[in-house]
Structure 1
Amino acid sequence: MLAVLADVNRHRQVPIRLREQDLFRMPRKRPVFCHACLGESLAVDPRGAVFPCGQTLGDPYFAAGTVWRPQFDRLAALRVFRPDAALCADCALKPVCPGDCPSRLHYNRHAHQMLVCQLYRTLYAHAAEHVSSTLKISPDATDTGSTADSQH
């Protein structure tokens, strides 16, 4: 998938970006998936109805008033939708994982939670492989900091 995306982007003036990949590049220790997770975003439909994000647009469950009378507490409705902590307990990516899209968790009812986990693991492995090859780190190096001797 990443190779195809890179190939497509070679032919585009403005590259297509994968949100999940961008999240791993963020300098924060534990990023959040999006601003809607924090109640810091909104989407407005053509009639002026307000929702926490574009994915929830039109869903009465997430209605948060109108642009003329917003219900700011309702904009934070997505905060309660988080990945199952038990599935994350032993994950090596837990310290840097942004979690999943809260609306996706709501609408899928956790049915496909492991799919995003596999995506993050793949992205992380790809990034680690790229860094290893760039810095000439031994493939069997562990997180203890051991690296292959530099070649001169």
Structure 2
Amino acid sequence: MVTFRSPHLIRARERIRINGKPISETLFANHFFTVYNKLKKECPEDMPPYFKFLTLLSFHVFLQESVDVAIVEVGIGGEYDVTNVVRHPVVCGISTLDIDHTSVLGSTLPEIAWHKAGILKRNSPAIVSPLCPEALQVVIERASECEVGFTPR
């Protein structure tokens, strides 16, 4: 099992964990330069920003290390987040919401809930933490749009 999450506390490789432990320095460096060199060759004038690069790097690690399960934490929001490229996740989860990243997500919990619910995918069950009624209503509406069933708590 591998996880990709953010932010890291000390080193970037903490974001990619294999079986609960940060990816080794050797594996991180090998995968980092494989991805970096490929990008530099294919699109030297359009290198991705830091978080997008680390996301791409994590997906590369998932594929190259033949993992069975990958848990991917969304960076900011969900709907437009770079991590939101998995078409058929086994399950999607929405944890607690708070007022954060308001310049991108909006300044109210329902606005933030709309972005968070953007990770929901048809035919993938959802786990949703308890939310305030207004935010929960938004998640229910978005889940209905993509035919995702879940039981609100």
Normalised TM-score (structure 1):
0.24
Instruction: Give the structure with the larger strand fraction.
Output: 2
Larger Rg belongs to: 1
Query: How high is the TM-score relative to the length of structure 2?
Result: 0.24
